[in-house]
Structure 1
Amino acid sequence: MAAKFLLIFFALFGFAFSEVIPFIDRGDYSVCEINKLRITPCKNQTHCTLKKGSTVRISFDFTPKFSSDSIMTGLLWYNEGFKNSYSELPNADGCLYTPCPLEADKKQTLNYDLQIANRLPDGEYNFKWKIWTHTDEECYFETTIELER
C-alpha cells in the first residue's frame, strides 16, 4: 500500500514541476493528432531551458486515427549548423514508451526519459518527434528548447 501511495505522490509531484509546452503539430490530422506536450523539469511555458548532462521527461498525448499493433518513434535535433538523430532513439520500438496495440480515436500518452548529452553546444534547438507505423501512418510535432550548462 505504501509503495502505491509513493508512486501516486511522485507522479503528481512530477506534473507539478512540468509545464505544458507549446509545439507545432506537423502531422496529418486525418491520421493522428498531438494533443499536449509536457517536458519535466521545464518550468517556463514560453521558454524551455534545459541543463546539459541532465535527464528530462518528455511526455505527450496523441490520438491516432488508425489502429496498429506496433509503432516506431524517433527524435531529430537541429539548429544552425547542427542536425542529428538522437542516437538512442533513431527508429525505436514505440511500444516501449506507450501501450500497444493502438486503437483508433483513443488518446494515448508516450513517455520518454531523454538524456541530454554534455557534448551538445549551448544554444537554442528545434526538435522533431515522430511516431509512425510500418504502413506509413505518421504524426509528429516540433518544438524549441534551449540547452545550457
Structure 2
Amino acid sequence: MKFFVFICAVLAFSHSHSQVDGEIVSRHSCSPDEVKNCVVNEARITPCKEALKDPPQPCKFQKKKTASIEVDFTPEFVTEGMHVQMYWPNGFMDLPLAGMETNACKTTTCPSVSGVKQTYRYDLEIATYFPLSTYDVKWVLKGNDEETQQCCFIYRIKITK
C-alpha cells in the first residue's frame, strides 16, 4: 500500500511539473485571414504576475532571464508537421523573433489530430539585444498546408532590465 501511495505521489509531482505554472494571459485574435481551421483555447506565460491585475497588464520580461509560454490549441486539421514563429507586428511588417526554434513538433504532438486539443510549450531566453519597450507579440502556428492550417493570437509584453 505504501508503495502504491509513493508511486501516485511521484506521478502527481511529475505531472504537475511538466506544465508551466503560468498566468493566463489576455490576448486577442489575429485578423480573420490569419486564423485558418484552428482555435487557441488558452495561453499561459511565466513570469506574468501582471496578468492578474485589473485590467491585465503586459507581461514583464527581464533581459537575460527565461520566459515560458504554453498555448492550448485545437487544430481542425491533420498534419504531419507544424512550425511556429513569434513576431513583432510593428505596423510595417511582421518581424520574426530571431533565434527561435520553429519546429513545433519538438514541443507538441505531431501529427496533429483534427478536433483534439493539444499544448505547445516553449522557453524563450530574453536576449540582451532585445530593446527595452512594450510590444505586441504575434504567435503563429502553421501546419504543412499554410493556406488552410494556421493558429494565431496576439499578446503584450514589456522588456525590462
Contact 2:79–2:144 (Cα < 8 Å) also in 1: no
Contact 1:127–1:142 (Cα < 8 Å) also in 2: yes
Counterpart for residue 43 of structure 2: 37
TM-superposition CA deviations, 1:103-149 (whole Å, max 9, x none): 11111110000111111121101111111122111121111111101
Equivalent positions of 1:91-106 (< 5 A) are 92-106=102-116
Counterpart for residue 152 of structure 2: 140
Shift of 1:94: 1.0
Kindly indicate which of the two structures has a greater share of residues assigned to strand: 1
* Residues 1:121 and 1:114: Cα distance change in structure 2 (over 3 Å): same
* Residues 1:134 and 1:9: Cα distance change in structure 2 (over 3 Å): closer
The RMSD of aligned alpha carbons is: 2.5
Aligned length: 145
TM-score, length-normalised on structure 2? Answer: 0.78
Counterpart for residue 128 of structure 1: 138
Q: Match for 2:14: what amino acid?
A: L
Contact 1:52–1:120 (Cα < 8 Å) also in 2: yes
Give every structure 1 segment of 4 or more consecutive aligned residues whose post-TM-superposition deviation is greater than 3 Å. 1-6, 8-12, 27-30, 78-84
Gaps of 5+ in 1: none
Contact 2:30–2:154 (Cα < 8 Å) also in 1: yes
Shift of 1:30: 5.6
* Residues 1:70 and 1:27: Cα distance change in structure 2 (over 3 Å): farther
* Range with greater deviation from structure 2 (21-30 or 112-121): 21-30
* Residues 1:52 and 1:135: Cα distance change in structure 2 (over 3 Å): same
TM-superposition CA deviations, 1:46-104 (whole Å, max 9, x none): 112111111111101101111111111111135589963112227x2111110111011
Equivalent positions of 1:35-74 (< 5 A) are 35-45=41-51, 46-47=56-57, 48-74=59-85
**Aligned mates of 1:120, 1:94 — CA distance in 2:** 23
Pair member with larger Rg: 2
Match of 1:88 among 54, 79, 99: 99
TM-score, length-normalised on structure 1? Answer: 0.84
Counterpart for residue 17 of structure 2: 10
Task: Give SS of 1:57's match.
Answer: strand
Q: Match for 1:26: what amino acid?
A: C
